[in-house]
Every structure is written in C-alpha cells, then in structure tokens.
Amino acid sequence: MSTNHLLEIKQYGQSIWMDNLSRDIIQSGELKDMVENQGISGITSNPAIFEKAIAGNVIYDADIETAVRANLPTDKIYESLVFADIRYACDILRPVYEASNRLDGYVSIEVPPTIAHDTEATITEARRYFQEIGRENLMIKIPGTEPGLPAVEQVIAEGMNVNITLLFSVESYVNTAWAYIRGLEKRLAEGKDISRIASVASFFLSRIDSNIDAKIDAKLKKGVDDISVEARLKAVKGKVAIANAKIAYQEYKKIIESDRWKALAEKGATVQRLLWASTSTKDPSYNDVMYIEELVGRDTVNTVPPATIKACADHCNVGDRLETDVDNAYTLIENLKDPDINIDLDAVMDELLVDGIDKFIQPFQSLMNSLEDKIKVLSPV
C-alpha cells in the first residue's frame, strides 16, 4: 500500500484541514474516513462551497420540502440546510477536538458575505450562528476587513472561536493577530476563562500569484528591451505568495514573543495559528502541491481542497520548509518595488480583498436564486 504523505505533515506541527463540505461526503461516510484514516483534522466551508454542494443536488430536496411546508423564507431554508451539515461535521470531528485538547477538530462557517463591511451585523450574526448551531468546535469565519476586526475582537471576548479570512497582506495578518489578543485581554479583564477559545488567521496564497503573474505576463507581452529585466520579471512569477507567507510567519513569531502574548499564554490562551488558504495551484505549469510543500511548519494549518488533498497524499515531498530561504523572501518582496519590476503589492492586496468578498457574494446570491427555483418546484400546488 502506498504512503499517504499527508500523514507525515503532522510531525512538523502542522494540521491539515479540508476546504470542502457537502451532505454527500457526510452521509457516504467519506468524511468520517478522511478524519479517522487520512489525516484530516478540520473543515472549512464558504458560500462557494455550499453553492456547489446544494445547487442541483437532490440529497437536500426532502429537507427543502419540509422547510417549504413550514413556510420558512429562503434565507432560513438556506440556514437550515447549511447548519445541519455543519452540525454533522462538528460531530464527526468532535473526537479530534477532544483528543487534540481543542487544538483541532473545528468546522468553519462564514457569516453572510453581504455584511462584510458591517461590524455590528457581523457580531450579531456570529452570536446567532454560534448559538443556533450549538457546537463547541464551531469556528465563525469573519473577513479580515477593517470593519471585520472590531467584530473579531468582540466575538473573541464573548468566547467564540474565530477564523479570520481573506487575509492577503502581512499587515492585515498582523492587525488580525492583535485583534485576537485584544479580544482575549478584554475577556480576561472580565474574569472569564480564555483557555477554551481558538482562532486561525486564514492567509491566502494562489490568488496572489495569479494576480501578479498576470501583471508580469502583461509587461512581458508589451515587450522588455533589456534581457536582464525580462529574466528578473520571469524569476518573480509564482514566487510572491510563498515569500509573503514566510514573512507573515516571521511576524507571528515576533507576536508570540511579545510580553502581551506571554501574559495571556500564562492564563491558558491558545496561539492563533496561521492557516494557509487558497492552496490549489492555478497555473498547470507549477508544482500542483507547492503551496503545501513550501509552507509546512510548526503551529500552522493548511486548508486544502479535495483534489489537492489527493495530489499531496500521492506525491507531496514533505519537509520543514517554512523557515528556509526567509532572507530571499524579504529580498523578493522588496524587489517588487524596483522600477524595472514595478509591482505595487499593497494595491494588489487591496484589489484581492475586494475581489475575495465578491467571490463569496456571487455564489451566495446564486445559491439563494437556485434555492428559490427549487422552492417553486417543491412547493405544494
């Protein structure tokens, strides 16, 4: 029997979560098998994942019919389907949650992407989701937007687990880490236990390279007079996301060495781990598991879509590489400012955040539309 290379990753202090959830994999026993035998120790979901799972899938029809008969509106029907799947998944992962002393075993659900810029609405929905789903190993996903961070702080202070998502820049990650710390400090000041709260900071990868590679290709297509400049442009392709992630990890290390963090750790706080997201390689000329192989390291999570899970299990070359070539990572990022390369990384990150929210709003609205169509079909005449 061939080796499952995913199982080797855990020895380096990294957890593998799966970026996928549907009722099919719950009911077929596939999810249970992946958790028990294939090294999967958490689940992340988002509106795009649920759109794929629910739209055009008859497995949900009986529940939709029940909800229609109860006269539930479309948004409540959506929640009834999604919350049920999340509860099932939480229950399957509960043994991992307990065996890992609450480090792993989490299932993430996103608050509606339409409220990404509304702090109060985000807090209200996070509370409601956490209460209605009713599972300790639930993580609420909140976008790392400027209005999202005060929501993160408040939700942490209230004792909920949080997955801060759509982080692209190192600065946005650092801001997220301090929001987590402020939330814990606030909770501690109220005399409450901080040892049972977990958080991850979801730092995105492939979307960065896709964006920057397109910009480089456009420059090369225009034509570059100097052959050395052409070589330097080509050398940047497919390298920025991993370099950016390695620098973020160095910032993580500084944060956990801070006095403020150490004071919380003494009271039982758990570190907020960096979670590598968007880890399927978009360019077929690149190594299909490069966003896994290059970022294995202590106190991190990699959330991986099913096809990349299979690819990594088959042929990942696992090693502790997160802290290799760090100097080169800083140099590469700095070189983007060079007039010959001239890529504004901050502008790219801002663009990706706006685009990222849109990428969740569109499937969310599409799912609502397809649910409405199903409701019409399944409604009693």
Catalytic annotation, residues? 141
Please give the single-letter amino acid code of residue 192.
K
Q: C-alpha distances in angstroms, 315 versus 6, 284, 289, 292?
A: 9, 16, 8, 11
Structure tokens at 127: 């509370």
Q: Is 40 helix (H, G, I), strand (E, B) or coil?
A: strand
The residue count for the chain: 381
Question: Using an 8 Å Cβ cutoff, are 240 and 333 in contact?
Answer: yes
How distant, in Å, are the alpha carbons of 79, 179, 197, 296 from that of 42?
21, 23, 16, 16
With the C-alpha atoms ordered 279, 309, 90, 184, is the resulting torsion angle positive or negative? negative
Instruction: Answer for the pair 36, 98: CB distance below 8 angstroms, yes or no.
Output: no
Q: How far apart are CA 205 and CA 351, in angstroms?
A: 14
Q: What gap in Å lies between CA 161 and CA 153, rounded to an integer? A: 11
Kindly state the helix (H) or strand (E) to which residue 27 belongs, with its residue range. Answer: helix 23-27
Tokens for 73, please give them.
């509106």
Alpha-carbon distances, residue 25 vs 21, 272, 379 (angstroms): 7, 29, 27
Query: What is the Cα Rg of the chain in Å?
Result: 21
HEC assignment per residue over 194-231: CCCCCEEEEEECHHHHHHHHHHHHHHHHHCCCCHHHHH
